Amino acid sequence: MREKIALACTECKRKNYTTTKNKRNTPDKLQLKKYCPFDRRHTVHKETKIK
């Protein structure tokens, strides 16, 4: 039931992190504050699909 997702930075639009989530428990998209190595600061990362 767990699905693989990628977390993309809202500032630079790059996919920096991959993780899994349970779609039954969290049906809406994740938004986490993570470190972006390209911006060199903490930014909001949103869930995107992995191709």
Q: Which CATH number belongs to the domain containing residue 27 in this structure? A: 2.20.28.120
Each residue's pLDDT tens digit, 25-44: 999 999 999 999 999 999 99
Q: What is the pTM of this model?
A: 0.88
Q: Do 35 and 10 touch, CB atoms closer than 8 A?
A: no
State the CB neighbour count (10 A cutoff) for residue 17.
14
Q: How many domains, the chain?
A: 1
Which residue range forms the structural domain that includes residue 31? 2-48
Each residue's pLDDT tens digit, 6-30: 999 999 999 999 999 999 999 999 9
Q: Do 33 and 42 touch, CB atoms closer than 8 A?
A: yes
